[in-house]
A and B are shown apart, each in its own frame.
Chain A
Amino acid sequence: MGYDNVVTTTAWSPGPGCHGGCGVKLYIKNGKVVKVEGDENHPFSQGRACPRLLALTQYMYHPDRITYPLKRVGARGEGKFERITWDEALDTVEEKFSNIKAEYGPESVLFCQGTGRDIGGPISFLAYSYGSPNWIQLGLAGHSCYTPRLGAMMATHGDYAVLDAGQFSEKRYADPEYEVPKVIIIWGQNPMPGCPDGFFGHWIVDCMKRGSKLIVVDPRWTWFASRSEKFLQIRPGTDGALAMGMINVIISEDLYDQEFVKNWTEGFDDLKRRAAEYPPQKVAAITWIPEADIIAAARLYASAKPAAIQWGVPIDKCPEGSTVAQAIAHLWCLTGNLDVPGGNVIARPAYGVTTYPFSTQEMHELYGEEFVRRLNEKRIGAKEFAMVRNFRGWAQPDLAVKQMLTGDPYPIKACWIQTSNVLGGQAADTALHYEALKKMEFVVVADLFHNPTTMAVADIVLPVASIAEKESFRSWWVPLQVIVPAVEVGECRSDWEINLELAKRFNPELAKRYGSVKDLINDRLKPCGLTYDELKAQGGWIMPPENSASRPYRRYEKGLLRPDGKPGFRTPTGKVEFASKSYEEWGLDSLPYYSEPPESEVRTPEVYKKYPLVMVTGRRSSVYFHSEHRMIPWLRECDPYPIVEIHPSVAEQVGIDDGEWVVIENDRGSIKRKAKVTPIVHPKVISVPHGWWLPEEDGCEPNLFGIWDINCNKLVHIGPGAKSGYGGGAYKTALVRVKKANGAVE
C-alpha cells in the first residue's frame, strides 16, 4: 500500500481516548488516514503505541460515527434525529442559551465535561464567554478524579508532583542527572492499561527493567502486584489508614530524611503526634493488611533513595480523598524524595504554557472584572466548600444534580455536554442523573457517536473531529506539543472550532482577539517563544528549558518555585507543610486522618450483613477508555463482555460457574454481569469494570443500549461525601451481593 504523505502529530483524544502525549505518524492516502504508527523519534513514547491508537482508522471511519449536526425530531428517547446545517445548529444553541440567560440568568446552563479530550480550554472559554460559572464534571461524585490529589499537593508543597521516569528530559533514562527509583509504590492503580494524568503507564515497566522494585497497594492482584516485593492487598477505601500507618513506622523508626525535614518543612511535630494514633497493629485491623507487611513496606520505601510513588484515582474516591492524598504526599516529603531524580518531581507544564487562563489578570482581560469577581456568587458548591471557592473553580457535581431536580437556590434549565457520556459513564446513581437531565429544557451533546446520553436527552448533537482531524496543542507537564490536522471527516469540527465560534457570539472581546483557533493557540503558546507553525516545523514538541521553573531538579534550593524568587516552596510558609495552613484556612483539619467508608463492615454492619461484598468499579481495560470504544471491532474482541471478577471461594459459595451471567445487587438496584472467576480479586471484593453500554443493542428508550441492565454506577450513591467537597465518590466501596441470574441473559 502506498501513501501520499505522512503527518507527524500528538496522540490524544478523541481516538485513543486518553490523556495524550504519544508521538504519532498518520499515513494518508487520497485524503484518508490509512495507517497509524508510533513516532520512534518522540521522547514520550519512543515509537510505542497502545491498541486504541492502532485502531484509530476503525474509530474515525466507523459507519456509526456522527458526521454532521443533528436535531431531535421525535420525543426524547425515540432516537429520531434529522440532519441540519452547522449554521442552524449553532443558531439554535445561541438562541436557546440567550433566552435562558435573559429569563433565568447564565448560571442556569451547566457546561459539562468528562475526561480525556483536550476539553478544559474549549469548554471554559465557552462557559465563561456565555457567562456561566458552572463548568462541571456532571455525575462525578465528589469530583473524585485527581482534583483531591491536586488540592492536597498544592496545599502541602505548593505544586503538583509526579513519579520521575525521566520524562522532563529529551534524553530520558540516559540523562546523566537522572536516576531510576530504587523502589516504586504503585498505590491504587494499574498503570498498564491506561496512561493516567499525563503518565505513560509502561514507563513503570521501563523502570522495572532498570532495577526498580515494587510495592503495590491494591485490592486486586495486578500484573504489577504479581511482580512486586510487597503486595498490600488493601480493603477498598482504607488507604488513608495505611498511609498514616506507614508515616507512623517511618517516624517512630527514624527512617525519615532528617536533613530535608529540618530545612524544608513545617509541622513535623504535629504530624508525629497525629501519626502516633495509627500504630501498625491498629492499621492492620482497618485495612486487612498484615501488620508485618505494613512495617516491611514502610521500611522498604523509606530506606531506598530515591523512591517514588505512582498513585491512582481510588485515592480520590476514599472518604475525605483530599486528606488521604495529603497523607500520601507526606510520605514523599518525609523521605526527602520531593523534586529529586527518581523521586516525585514537581510537575509544571513546560514553559508555564497553560491551555486556558489561570491568572486573574488574563481572566479580567478576557471576561471582564465584574464577571470574574462574581464567579463564586453563583457557582454551585462555592458557598458550601472553600476548596471550590479557592482551589479549583468547578461546580460541585453532587450538589449540581440535586439542584437540577429541585431548582434550589436557582433553576438549572440547560446542559452543554461535551466529551462526556454522563449516563453511560461517570455519573454515580445513573437513575438520578437520568431524571435530572430529563428535566432540562434544552440539552446539547458534542460527541462522535450516539451513546445512552445522546439518545436519552440530546436535542442537538454536534459532530466532533477526532485527533487526526484537528488543530490543537497539549500542555500537560511535558513535552509541550502540537496536534496537527491531517484529514477531514464529514462535517466534523474540533471542540476548539465549535466552542470558539459560539464563544465569540457571546463575547465580543474574544472575537476581537482571535480570528481563528490558530490565533488562540498562538496566544497560549507565547511563553515558549514559538508559534504553532514554528513548533510544528521543528518536530512538534519541546521540552522545558534547563534551569527553569518547569524543569527538575531541586528547584526549591534554586529559588525557582516561589513568585518572590526565594528558595523554598509556593506555600503560605514557604516550606513543605505537614500541617497545612491552606487546609486550615479552608476550614479543614490541617493534618491527615483516616475516615471509614460510608458503607462498610465497620460503619454499617447491618448493611454489610445483607450485602457482604465490596464492589470496586473502574478497573481499566487496555482496549477501552472509560465508556468509549465498545463499537470498535478490533478492540471489542479483546475484551468482549461486561464482566465481574469474582473470587473462586465466593463463586463456589453462591454456586456460580466461570462465564455464567450473574446478578449484582444492593438496595439501589441490580445489574447483570458475566462472571470471571479468578483468584486475582480479594475474597471479600468483586471488581466490576465501569463505562459499559452495548452499542450493538437498541439505543432507544427504554433500553438505551442496555445501561439499565449493566451499568454498575446504578449501584453507587452520590454524596457529597467529603468535607472539602472533593473526594469520597463511593465508586470503590459500595456494598453488594451476587446471585445466580434466573434464565439466560445472552
Chain B
Amino acid sequence: MGRKGLFIDYEFCTGCHTCEVACKQENSYPAGLWGIKVNEIVLESLDKVEINYLPFPTELCNLCANRTVNGERPSCVKHCQADCMKYGELTELVKEMENKPKTVLFAPK
C-alpha cells in the first residue's frame, strides 16, 4: 500500500469550517487544537476581488486512521459541504489533478 493523501479542489472550497469542526469532534480535540485549519486568501486582482480558501492539515492530522481502517472516509472528507476533498492513494489522487485544475494534494504523514 502506498502513501495516502488529502486532495483538495480549492476552486470549490467555500471556507465553511466544516472540516475543522469535523476533525475536532472525531479526535476529541478541545478548542485551540486543530487537525486541519482553513486559510482565507483575499486579494484584489485585476478587475475583481479574488477570494480563496485552503484547508491545511496540521501535524495533528493522522488522516483519520481509526476511520479509514474500517473503510470509512476521514471525517473532514465525508462532511465537506462543498464535497471538494478526497482521500486516497497519492498515485491515484495525482491522476485526479491531471483532470482538474485549482487543486492541491497533501501527504500529511
Q: Please list the residues of chain A having a beta carbon within 8 angstroms of any beta carbon in chain B.
A: 35-38, 40, 46-51, 54-55, 57, 192-193, 201-202, 205-206, 208-209, 221-223, 225-227, 231, 622-623, 633-638, 678-680
Contact = CB atoms under 8 A, between A and B. Distances in A.
B59 interface: no
B16 A679 contact: no
Given A51-B21, A678-B42, A636 B16 contact: no
A50 B18 contact: yes
B44 A635 contact: no
A428 to B, nearest CB: 29
Nearest to B21: A51
Given A50-B81, A636-B31, A226 B50 contact: yes
B65 interface: no
A205 B82 contact: yes
A56 to B, nearest CB: 9
A679 B49 contact: yes
Given A54-B25, A192-B14, 17 more contacts: A35-B25, A38-B78, A47-B78, A48-B18, A48-B80, A49-B79, A57-B25, A192-B15, A192-B81, A202-B81, A209-B12, A221-B49, A222-B51, A227-B11, A633-B31, A638-B17, A638-B21
Contacts of B20: 51, 634, 638
B18 A51 contact: yes
Contacts of B92: none
A37 B81 CA distance: 13
Interface string B59-96: 00000000000000001001111111000000000000
B34 to A, nearest CB: 9
Contacts of B18: 48-51, 54, 622
B53 interface: yes
Contact of A193 (B16, B30, B42): B16
Contacts of A57: 25
Contacts of B42: 678-680
Contacts of B11: 227
A205 B17 contact: no
B68 to A, nearest CB: 15
A48 B17 contact: no
B3 interface: no
Contacts of B51: 221-223, 225-226, 680
A629 to B, nearest CB: 11
Contacts of A49: 18, 22, 79, 81
Nearest to A201: B81
A205 B31 CA distance: 29
A622 B44 contact: no
Contact of B17 (A51, A225, A227): A51
A590 to B, nearest CB: 40
B25 A637 contact: no
* Most-contacted residue by chain A among B26, B30, B81 (CB, 10 A): B81
28 contacts: A35-B25, A38-B78, A46-B83, A47-B79, A48-B83, A49-B22, A51-B22, A54-B21, A192-B14, A193-B16, A202-B14, A202-B16, A202-B81, A202-B83, A205-B81, A205-B82, A206-B83, A209-B12, A223-B14, A225-B51, A226-B51, A622-B15, A622-B16, A633-B31, A636-B31, A638-B17, A679-B42, A680-B51
A453 to B, nearest CB: 26
Interface string B32-59: 1000000000101000111111000000
Contacts of A193: 16
Contacts of B49: 221, 225-226, 679-680
Contacts of B44: 679
Contact of A637 (B32, B48, B79, B82): B32
Interface in B1-21: 11-12, 14-18, 20-21
